[in-house]
Structure 1
Amino acid sequence: MSMLWIAVIAASVLSFGQKWLGYQAPPDALDRPRISRTTTLLPIALLGALVATQTATSGTEIVLDARLAALGVAVALLLARAPFLVVVIGAAAAAAVLRALGWA
């Protein structure tokens, strides 16, 4: 068995164990206002960090290219309360047009 498969199996077991431990937490510990607020905001922060790193980096370098402009278009469409599908298509179209014009 390769090291990759050992790592995948170990990560799966650890993930399962962590989820099981979450179910074992007493409900009154999770109902505290601070914990509740943190668990509500944590996915938003993680998604924001993922979007930022995927938009503004390439490998180990910070780059400003069509992805950043596409993100700007997506934000503008979200602020205009456009449907999600329109946001995705608009951002993809903006990136495609800019890349076709040579702004990689």
Structure 2
Amino acid sequence: MNATVVMILALAVGTYAFRLVGPLLHGRVELPDRVRGLLAAGAVVLLVALLATGALTEGGGFAGWARPAGVLVGGVLAWRGVPFVGVVLGAAGATALLRLVGVA
């Protein structure tokens, strides 16, 4: 067994154990309100960072203006309460339209 397979198995076991701890400790560990607030803020920051990375970069460089514009259109549609399918189609359509007219 090579090192890659061993590492994958170790990460799989660690992930399973980490997920198992939640149900096992539910109700036994009480987090302070400050920690709960920090965890919520951390989740928001992580999601925004992932969104920014996915929207603005491609192959280690700037993705062009069409993709961030499409993400912006999708965000506006989601904020307005459009169903998820409409958000995805609107964002993809805006990106495709901008690329069609030459905005990279």
Q: TM-score, normalised by structure 1?
A: 0.76
Percent identical pairs in the alignment equals: 30
| Greater Cα offset, 94-103 or 17-26 | 17-26
Tell me, in whole angstroms, the C-alpha distance in 2 between the residues paired with 1:35 and 1:64: 38
1:66-81 equivalences under 5 Å are 66-81=66-81
Structure 1 position 11, deviation (Å)? 1.1
2:65 counterpart residue number:
65
State the Cα deviation string for residues 21-72 of structure 1 (Å, max 9, x = none): 3445463643421233334444333222111101111233234331101011
Alpha-carbon RMSD across the aligned residues, in angstroms, is: 2.4
Alignment gaps of 5+ in structure 1: none
1:9 counterpart residue number:
9
Does the aligned pair in 2 maintain the 1:56–1:64 contact within 8 Å? yes
1:17-96 equivalences under 5 Å are 17-25=17-25, 27=27, 29-96=29-96
The runs of 4+ residues in structure 1 deviating greater than 6 Å are none
| Greater Cα offset, 36-45 or 73-82 | 36-45
| Greater Cα offset, 45-54 or 15-24 | 15-24
Alignment gaps of 5+ in structure 2: none
Does the aligned pair in 2 maintain the 1:30–1:36 contact within 8 Å? no
Tell me, in whole angstroms, the C-alpha distance in 1 between the residues paired with 2:103 and 2:6: 42
